[in-house]
Chain A
Amino acid sequence: MRILLVDDSSFSRITLKRYFADIEGLEFAEASNGIEALELHRSFAPDIIFMDITMPQLDGLGTLKIFSMVDSKAKIIMVSALGNQTYVVEECKKYGTFAVLAKPVSKDVAIKALKDAEKQLIAGENQ
């Protein structure tokens, strides 16, 4: 399973990677803004994307909109301090995000989101 972590805070990316350290079969790529994420998306072809919203240059919502135009397969999980705000959640849902998590994210919540996304991907493949 290929995981793309998108966040301008390297601390947040490292935290998620640590949470997932015990899970086998994961391959990671990291981007620090939306442009890098879209660039990496072409070559890395992630299955699951964890993405922050507030990022400089091209933010998470803008990047999410573009992902929704080019990739209907990847499961996108938004991870943001804005994750509690109704407007943000609605906007994310409109563009097909799989889940919206509010920062700070606990290990259990992050792993559950990953496993749920993985399950859906596998179910989609078997259909």
Chain B
Amino acid sequence: MKSLTIDELQPGMIANQTICDARGTILIAQGITLTESYISRMRKFNIKTIAIQDTEEDMEPPCSLSTPVVQRTITTLSALFDSLAEHKTIDIKKTAYQIEQVIYSILDKHAIQAFLEIDAQNELLYHHSLRTTIIAVNMGLAQGYDYLNLEYLAMCALMHDCGMGRDYQEDDTEHALLGFKKLRDNLKMDMIIALVCLQHHEYFDGSGSLGFNRSQITEFARLIAIADYYDRLIIKKNTPRQALFKILGGSGTLFDPDMVKLFQTTVLS
């Protein structure tokens, strides 16, 4: 890996780091092939240098999409969309195709496939991860994120419980820290994925287990916290309406009010 200045960049080179703007929106994603428009985008945002992949070894070829775990995930997703639609709470039918496309596009990544191999061994955890991803990406679409950010949001949501290993345990809060450390140690994992894992049980008012509050919690973690909570309530036998009211009731205390409003826009009236 080498770092090049903006003047040395050529279209066709592959970025080896993710660069965000001041709002945290991704401008250049790791692994993306640079084009003239990306390079001029970098100039516009006054980005002076970027790490570039310079050897074949740095390049990670996409994996096959015909592996058993990917096939199982595609089939499972379809069933989960049906069951979520049956809740008649979240408006999922119109956006199902877009959500599927976003999730399919992250399934060819090595790290995602490796994670699914473990996750799929526990059906409860596997279904929870996938349902959280569907609900989160649905919110991301309502928020107007671009495709790249939707992909990152999907990866964060899918892996938010990776610290749990193979067991889904409702009361376990250690998994956030464990997952963060595991993801942070893997340089191929973007930091935002590790951060969402760390902060998805944090509450907006700072009463969560690690005490992060408000702007100390990343936007994706504030969004995914709601998707995750909704599904955990359903797992605990709440009805979809009960789950919805508990989320509304947690606005400003457990959850970012803006994210609760966003969630509400994805709810059937």
Interface residues of A (CB under 8 A from B): 8, 10, 32-36, 38-39, 42-43, 54-59, 61-62, 65-66, 69-70
Contact = CB atoms under 8 A, between A and B. Distances in A.
Nearest to A64: B216
Given A33-B22, A39-B190, A61 B216 contact: yes
The 8 A-B pairs at the shortest CB distance, nearest first, are namely A57-B24, A62-B216, A39-B191, A59-B215, A8-B22, A58-B218, A38-B191, A56-B23
A32 B22 contact: yes
Nearest to B177: A69
Contact of B187 (A36, A43, A70): A43
A56 B23 CA distance: 5
Given A38-B191, A39-B18, A57 B219 contact: yes
A57 B22 CA distance: 8
Interface residues of B, number: 26
Nearest to A33: B24
Tell which of B17, B20, B184, B190 has the most Cβ of chain A within 10 Å: B20
Interface string B198-229: 10000000000011100111110000000000
A38 B211 CA distance: 18
A42 B191 contact: yes
A56 B22 contact: yes
A54 B190 CA distance: 23
Tell which of A33, A35, A43, A61 has the most Cβ of chain B within 10 Å: A35
B116 interface: no
